[in-house]
Structure 1
Amino acid sequence: MTTTRFAPSPTGYIHVGNLRTALMNYLIARKAGGTFILRIDDTDPERSKEEYVDAIKRDLEWLGLHWDKVERQSERLDRYADAADKLREMGRFYEAFETPTELDLKRKKQLNMGKPPVYDRAALNLSDAEKDALRAERGNGVWRFKLDHERIEWTDGILGDISIDAASVSDPVLIRGDGQVLYTIASVVDDTEMGVTDVVRGSDHVTNTATQIQIIEALGGQCPRFAHHSLLTGPQGEALSKRLGTLALRDLREQGVQPMALLSLMARLGSSDPVELRSDMAELIEGFDVNRFGAAPTKFDVQDLFPLTAKHLQSLPLTDVADAVEDAGVPADLAEPFWAMARENITTLADLKGWWELCRDGAEPLIADEDREFIAEAVALLPDGPFDGETWGTWTKAVKEATGRKGKGLFMPLRKALTGMERGPEMAALLPLLQVIRARG
């Protein structure tokens, strides 16, 4: 059975970059009728916070990305300890004691000699007495996995055939000196024991995947299928890393972005398929194929979300937005005609309030000097109420016959006088909602 996972670290709010990973894994699982795991990677006790765990769940629920089960790495530390013991017994795990400064000096020396800046495995030559002395002086060392220096190869679901020389990669640190278990081994143990069959993540993990493949094989596990999606850039190709904090999903939600607009964009962005607004999750699932995504950096412009949001809102019946219409202050008896009028003229639901304020309070008329007599004559011809969808047509026909005006010269001055704006909703739909005019009628 297909099993995927989304494994955020609860050290902050998830953003559009995280969402891309979550959505791809979710869609793969759902399309195959498989399992989608939400795995909280909280092995860092200092940075992991419960408020972020709650926020992650809230964001996923808002988007409709419902998980089948939740796992937490902080509850599985014994499993990682067992895996570490197994690697030690195999001679694939060794303790190293270099300080960050010493490692930096080694890297600089290697670069000056034209060599790749990889760890030189000096710790493998330490005697037990030397290790004891270093522990006494510096405390516990880090634990590194000893890579087999051979080519690591796999066929990536997005990048194609990948081949990495393990000799060009440092033996990865899996456990820090303070005992904290790092992602590289925790993820391997979890993916293996949870039966994860497909792993989709960012292309910045490619080298990490190579080392993890060797760790999986050393522990006797089955390698999942890997796919590494491109990283997002800004609209001009600039790095998004410094801006991701302002692109948190909770911020987009507060800006009025609709879930289906966000999902429709992220499910196609960077693929060979055009971005199209989808009506529901079933359409997204049916149309998704991870193999259609490319390796090139993918441009993301937050402004693209707002036309999609507007288009999505236009498709919704009143029942789907009733709370927002009520929150805008619209009386229940006017909710239906108000939504029919406003839906084509909003970008987000927050815009409803402004349209209702116009209907309720009116607007400062915009009347050019040359139109004052015309407007006065037109107002005198306004029929008695109640007003309905036919009133605008009946009124403007009478004004046309009385004044001889037609086209833009007829309609624009009337719109500006009633709404204070040169453009907006169809006046036939808006006129019956203008409370000052309704009261007169």
Structure 2
Amino acid sequence: MKLSVRFAPSPTGRLHIGNIRTAVLNYLLARKAGGTFLLRLDDTDRERSTEEFAEGIRTDLRWLGLAWDREERQSARFARYTEVADALKASGRLYACYESEDELDKKRKRQLARGLPPIYDRAGLKLTGDEKASLEAEGRRPHWRFRLPNTDPAGGLLAPEPTIVSWNDLVRGDQTVDLGSLSDPVLIREDATPLYTFTSVVDDVDFAITHVVRGEDHVTNTGVQIAIFEALGAAPPAFGHHSLLIGADGHALSKRLGTLSVETFRSDGLEPMAVVSHASLLGTSDAIEPHRHIEELAELFDLAKVSTAPARFDPAELRTLNAKLLHKEPYEDVAERLAALGVGGGATFWEAVRGNVGVLAEARDWWDIATSDIDPVIENAELTARAADLLPPEPWDAGTWGAWTAEVGKATGAKGRALFHPLRLALTGRDSGPELKALLPFIGHPRAASRLRG
């Protein structure tokens, strides 16, 4: 069967670095294997899901270069979920329960007080038809639980399946979940809305998903979902659970994810391939370095390289990676964007400044420094005034700087930092920056003379 993966965000917000990483890992797995990458919008939460967020997710994926082969929306599949739920009800695997949240909470507390695990006691299974009718006459509506294939607290087995569910995880290796330690999960709410645990399985079956790669917070879900796959007579996909991200300080990122969104990265001027490179290599045995094309990352990709230890995300590291990527960018790949920023000078100017930009927009700063009025910084007025007198006539080229500074050195006796630092401050107003042999021809004689004289 052709490899098929899915990325399944909820359109209740924009993509952030946590789910970007999941998207990238799935995308690279599909591309390396020549498989398909499905975008599934999990929009069953009708109150919080919006079309604006759905379009925002598409925009973010397009910007990252993660082209999907197919899109599906869970909100269009309620009839299908009802059909499958009805079949599970008919087989006795989905049963009605009527307890309120408050009643369930009291049950759990009583069980804990008796030294028992707070597992649902399957009281719903014991209700007669008359009792159900009476509860519904009170205005109660049932929620529906999936009966796990484990020992009933009252004794007896539902089926001969073992309590332990196991699988060979693509990232974590052999994994087991003891279904006997879990309550029967609610799959359908009182308002008839299906929950993720259920809808995701139905979708994976219907869309022939072969590999599910997601965060390690879903490991327990996987044990339950494997049981649901089997109840539906379907073979479960291969599962891989990557570690979650933590901050550089070792703490969870959850409260800061809003500031670590694709939207923010884009508005901050980061390059999409810097973000994709970082997301795909973070927490792996490969070095974190910039790659200019997704195909390069797909060649390197292997889930076996993904560590089970929490991956540390540091925004400063991403920005450093972004700068390294730009330092490698050939002019032809940024020419249109530079023109849109109002940066001239062609390849010569770009090659002069690219080693000194962290984001592309900073090239405009250097263009303004080279070609517009600035406030020069005069550190040694005597030296810079003499240097102005010794400026050669134009035209200038890359050799002008060396010949001119040699003359200034002879005339003033200055050398090393004492010579070059005052000249840089006067000509650019900056302590550091591109090599002045490349920048000086763009500054030109009139501006250079004026700046040197302060």
Could you say which TM-score interval applies, normalised by the shorter chain? Answer: over 0.9
* Residue 335 in structure 1 maps to residue 346 in structure 2: yes
1:351 to 362, 373, 394: 362
Q: Distance in 1 between matches of 2:139 and 2:397?
A: 84
Which letter maps to 1:65?
L
Which letter maps to 1:308?
L
Cα offsets for 1:359-392 (capped at 9, x unmatched): 2224322223xx2222111100101112221211
Greater alpha carbon shift after TM alignment, 184-193 vs 415-424: 415-424
Query: 1:400 maps to what in 2?
Result: 409
For residues 399 and 243 of structure 1, do their structure 2 counterparts lie closer, same or farther at Cα, with a shift above 3 Å needed?
A: same
Cα offsets for 1:186-223 (capped at 9, x unmatched): 11111011111100111111111111101100001111
Query: 1:366 maps to what in 2?
Result: 377
Query: 2:266 maps to what in 1?
Result: 253
Where do residues 45-56 of structure 1 align in structure 2 (5 Å cutoff)?
A: 45-56=46-57
Which letter maps to 1:390?
G
Which letter maps to 1:19?
I
Query: 1:302 maps to what in 2?
Result: 315
For residues 436 and 395 of structure 1, do their structure 2 counterparts lie closer, same or farther at Cα, with a shift above 3 Å needed?
A: closer
Query: 1:133 maps to what in 2?
Result: 134
Which letter maps to 1:329?
G
8 Å contact kept, 1:363–1:419: yes
Query: 2:180 maps to what in 1?
Result: 167
8 Å contact kept, 2:388–2:449: no
For residues 98 and 436 of structure 1, do their structure 2 counterparts lie closer, same or farther at Cα, with a shift above 3 Å needed?
A: farther
Query: 2:214 maps to what in 1?
Result: 201
Report the number of matched residues.
437
8 Å contact kept, 2:391–2:449: no
Which letter maps to 2:357?
I
8 Å contact kept, 2:387–2:408: yes
Query: 2:117 maps to what in 1?
Result: 116
Matched residue SS, 2:398: coil
Instruction: Point out 4+ residue stretches in structure 1 off by more than 6 angstroms.
Output: none
Matched residue SS, 2:392: coil
Matched residue SS, 2:38: strand
How far did 1:352 drift?
2.0
Q: Distance in 1 between matches of 2:63 and 2:239?
A: 27
Query: 1:186 maps to what in 2?
Result: 199
Cα offsets for 1:16-54 (capped at 9, x unmatched): 111111111111111111111111111121111111111
Where do residues 383-394 of structure 1 align in structure 2 (5 Å cutoff)?
A: 383-394=392-403
Matched residue SS, 2:84: helix
* Residue 319 in structure 1 maps to residue 321 in structure 2: no
8 Å contact kept, 1:360–1:436: no
How far did 1:435 drift?
5.4
How far did 1:414 drift?
1.1
8 Å contact kept, 2:427–2:448: no
Structure 2 unaligned regions, length at least 5 = 151-162
Matched residue SS, 2:224: helix
Query: Please, what TM-score do these two structures have when normalized by structure 2?
Result: 0.93
How far did 1:90 drift?
0.8
Q: Distance in 2 between matches of 1:232 and 1:110?
A: 35
Q: Distance in 2 between matches of 1:304 and 1:36?
A: 28
Q: Distance in 2 between matches of 1:287 and 1:11?
A: 33
How far did 1:436 drift?
6.8
Superposed CA RMSD: 1.6
Q: Distance in 1 between matches of 2:38 and 2:79?
A: 20
For residues 364 and 8 of structure 1, do their structure 2 counterparts lie closer, same or farther at Cα, with a shift above 3 Å needed?
A: same
Matched residue SS, 1:278: coil
